[in-house]
A and B are shown apart, each in its own frame.
Chain A
Amino acid sequence: MRELGDGSWLRMAAVLAAALLAGCAGAPSQAPPQAQAGIFYPPLPNPPRIQHLRTIAGERDLKAPVSGFIQFVAGNDSKAQQLKQPYGVGMYEGKLYVVDSRAPGLAVFDMARQKFSLVTGAPNGRMKRPINVTIDSDGTKYVTDTGRDQILVFDREDRFVVAYGSEGQFKPVDTAIAGERLYVVDIQHHQVQVLEKRTGRFLFKFGTAGSKEGELFHPTNIAIGADGDVYVVETSNYRVQRFAADGKSVRTYGEIGSEIGKFSRPKGIALDRNGNLYVGDSAFQNVQIFNNGGRLLLSFGQPGDDVEGLNLPAAVAIDYDNVQYFRAYANPRFNIEYLIFVVSQFGPNKVDVFGFGTMAGMDYPSESGSTAKPVAKLEH
């Protein structure tokens, strides 16, 4: 009898024995997504607006869960690529794009085919410290890179096209698209530069360093509303400033403070089709929702390593077109209207996917319109 070098013979014998005992081993059954209860904001029995659907930390979250038996035979898959330090996020035609600053690269989660890939951009578009991604309606992707101080443009098939930004021109943290214009947040010069999105040609800029209206300090993330207004998060001014499309300041939202409705380390921003602002705060580790007039509607998310916990959240993104890929995770009576992605830079759960919607059979109070300020009831 040959010498048993490693344990493989033993393992195979065990497998054989188990197979004989168990009969045909069918395909591992995939556990149905958790849809019974749910994590809601505000929590039940209040009429919920948002449900936490799922969390994605890396390649492992795409694979069908395998039974412990298969793992014993085939071995653990420890080579799966997990997200290291993500910041930006966007979704297009069933593919979830997460910018991983530390990989460095653009992680692509193909939800339809359940496949993962990492776009590094090599050779000419190799990313150095990518931060955010903005995806146009035709699939063109604009990735900001604070290591190269350039915007890297990728096409619909994720191939590198061209880089915008000459030396010293800007340090781009985020971009936003409005028609043919690309608004670029330049954190180095505390301004927003507007380029022609197809050529990168400089059009105009607005904002100077400071804290008065019209001035910016450490602007980071940007979003464009349905009316064309530009919303810029100024992390070091602890506020969101709203500009008209030509760069004229309209108003500011928020101020520094630890109370609800204020900001401590605001970063990510997204707008829904009703003009509500979703602002992520890295210090509070939550997302606060304000109506267009500046009134706080709700805050969701909390710090923690639980599935729904946020850990130094960065970008916030809203998507109306890809709800079908996550609907299975929702409570069957909760009708999802759009998705909210929140990316955490640290912690075990990097990308949290939330769904905004309404629960069947519950009465929802009408939207704000009254000027009366209701006094809140504190629960103890």
Chain B
Amino acid sequence: MKLNIAGKWMLGALLLIAARSGVAGVLAGSAHDFANAGWNPGGKVCVTCHTPHGSDTSVADAPLWNHKLQTTTYAQYSSPTLKASVGQPGGNSKLCLSCHDGTVAIDSFGGNTGSTMITASAYKATSNLGSTLNDDHPIGFTYDTALAKLNGSLFDPVATAATIGTGTTSKTGTIASTMLFNGKLECSSCHDVHNTFTVGAKGTGMLKMDSVGSKICMACHNK
């Protein structure tokens, strides 16, 4: 599921790979370009997030304490959508959070102290973000027309236009089609992990829209 979307974007990024570094619209040279690190597995950029599966899926090395196996592979980053409580990051965001946990990669933004990481602990359907923008932005919730009505200061995601990226690598659609995943807001709603449809130089967070003037915030928040 997410591989399909990622596959399309990856293809786009590969086609556009240029020698320049740190430019929006190109994976090479971005913060997620792991090729220059020179580490296992031999400069392969994609395996960090797209774990490869071996071609030989026979289970010759069966676990010694449980010969009766249910499966040969593990599902990754899965989360039960039925029982998931509001605000728990979905599978999409879990992939991000598995590295951005304060160890391998930063987990705070706004340059402030400690872990101002995104959870929805302060999530309320009718709250306004207010002035504490260095606080958490909730993720893992469904952003639909009903929520927009309930909140009162959000745009309707299926009826509001949105453009992500810049220049030749941009995409126009609705909020829902360009930013939401299964109707939910996740990390990649605002951050394009492949640096394809992004605005800004390296170090600005691979955002899909301009953060100058808080344009990206105002794409959804009617202020």
Contact = CB atoms under 8 A, between A and B. Distances in A.
Interface of A: 41-42, 46, 49, 84-85, 87, 101-102, 104, 128-129, 131, 146-147, 173, 187, 209-211, 215, 217-218, 220, 235-239, 256-262, 264-265, 281-286, 289, 291, 295-299, 303-306, 309, 311-312, 314, 345-348, 365, 367-368, 373-379
A299 B104 contact: no
Contacts of B72: 259-260, 378
A217 B37 contact: yes
B61 A261 contact: yes
7 contacts: A87-B103, A102-B119, A128-B113, A147-B113, A257-B52, A376-B62, A378-B59
B64 interface: yes
Nearest to B82: A305
B65 A298 contact: yes
B101 A87 contact: yes
Interface of B: 37-42, 47-48, 51-54, 57-80, 83-85, 88-89, 94-95, 97-99, 101-104, 107-108, 113-115, 117, 119, 121
Given A131-B103, A297-B63, A373-B60, A378 B78 contact: no
Contact of B65 (A42, A312, A314, A378): A42
A211 B98 contact: no
B104 to A, nearest CB: 5
B115 A104 contact: yes
Given A217-B39, A297-B63, A347-B88, A285 B115 contact: no
A288 B7 CA distance: 29
Contacts, number: 203
A305 B62 contact: no
B63 A211 contact: no
B52 A146 contact: no
B39 A259 contact: no
A342 B106 CA distance: 22
A237 B102 contact: no
A173 B62 CA distance: 33
A312 B117 contact: no
B102 A218 contact: no
B65 A217 contact: no
A334 to B, nearest CB: 15
Nearest to A296: B63
A349 B43 CA distance: 37
B115 A102 contact: yes
Contact of B51 (A84, A264, A345): A264
A299 B121 CA distance: 31
- Most chain A beta-carbon contacts within 10 A, residue among B47, B54, B59, B121: B59
Contacts of A84: 119, 121
A3 B167 CA distance: 69
A260 B39 contact: no
A380 B114 CA distance: 47
A260 B75 CA distance: 10
- Most chain A beta-carbon contacts within 10 A, residue among B39, B78, B84, B103: B103
B47 A256 contact: yes
Lowest 9 CB-CB distances: which A-B pairs, in order?
Answer: A211-B40, A376-B62, A284-B74, A42-B66, A298-B65, A376-B59, A217-B39, A211-B39, A282-B98
B76 A258 contact: yes
B53 A260 contact: no
B68 A104 contact: no
A311 B101 CA distance: 13
B53 to A, nearest CB: 4
Contact of A42 (B52, B68, B94): B68
A5 B66 CA distance: 64
Given A187-B104, A209-B39, A236-B48, A379 B69 contact: yes
Given A265-B99, A283-B98, A299-B63, A238 B40 contact: yes
A55 B38 CA distance: 41
- Most chain A beta-carbon contacts within 10 A, residue among B58, B65, B71, B89: B65
Contact of A345 (B65, B77, B97): B97
Contacts of B37: 209, 217
Contacts of B98: 265, 282-283, 312
